[in-house]
Every structure is written in C-alpha cells, then in structure tokens.
Amino acid sequence: MRWYLRSKIHNAVVTQADIDYIGSITIDSALVEKVGFQEGEKVAVWDVTNGERLETYVILGRRNSGIICMNGAAAKKIKKGDKVIIAGFELSDKYIKPKIILVDEKNRFVKHL
C-alpha cells in the first residue's frame, strides 16, 4: 500500500483567515465537488507565497463564492491573499490517477490539469 495524490486544487487564493474559528479550511462547495474532496476530509495545504505546509480538514463553503478560508491556528501561518495548493491523498495498492484543477485569482474553475 502507498499514499497517492488523489485530488488537488492548484493556484487558489486565500480569501479569508479567521483565527477565532475552530480549525479547518473552508472551501467553496463547487470546487470541493469538482475536485472530489468530501466534507471532513483531511487535506494538505501548501502555501506558495511563504512556504508553510500544514494539514487540516475540509468544511464546505457557500457554492460559487470562491471562498478559501483558513480557520483557527492555520490562520496564523497562512494569510488572506496567499496563493495555496490544496491536496488530498488516498492509501491504495494501485495507482490512482489524480483529479487536479486549476483556478483563477477569484478561485473560479479554469480547467483540469
């Protein structure tokens, strides 16, 4: 068994950072659906702007809002305006072809990569 990249949102921009919220990352539910994440799923968040890397879990945001919000302690490491990559993985004994999407500066779907 190996860990494989299963899903990735590339080039997202953090729209909010809420230190007072209890953990997680809020992601526009249309993007969650498009890439195949699920609410509560563990994801890695890699900050392209400052190099921070962390793990958290997905909370569904308002559909087509473009929201990418870092919540709780993660908001101290990843700030509003930062560019991020959000990735989900799966443990499998067979290769998994990842579903990777590219978004624009307003976190709107551009294309599959």
User: Is 24 annotated in the active site?
Assistant: yes
- pLDDT tens for 56-75 read 999 999 999 999 999 999 99
pLDDT of residue 22: 81
Where along the chain do its domains lie? 2-112
Q: 110: which residues sit within 8 A by CB, 6+ positions away?
A: 101, 102, 103, 104
Residue pair 32/60 in contact (Cβ under 8 Å)? The answer is yes
Residue in 21, 24, 65, 92 annotated catalytic: 24
- pLDDT tens for 89-113 read 999 999 999 999 999 999 999 999 9
Residue in 4, 21, 57, 65 annotated catalytic: 57
Burial group, residue 103, by CB count within 10 angstroms (0-12, 13-18, 19+): buried
- pLDDT tens for 7-50 read 999 999 999 999 999 889 999 999 999 999 999 999 999 999 99
pLDDT of residue 41: 97
Among 68, 1, 3, residue whose Cα is nearest residue 32: 68
- Looking at CATH, the fold of the domain delimited by 2-112 is given as Barwin-like endoglucanases (2.40.40)
User: Is 65 annotated in the active site?
Assistant: no
Radius of gyration of the chain (CA): 13
pLDDT of residue 23: 80
Six token digits for residue 109: 């779907």
pTM score? 0.96
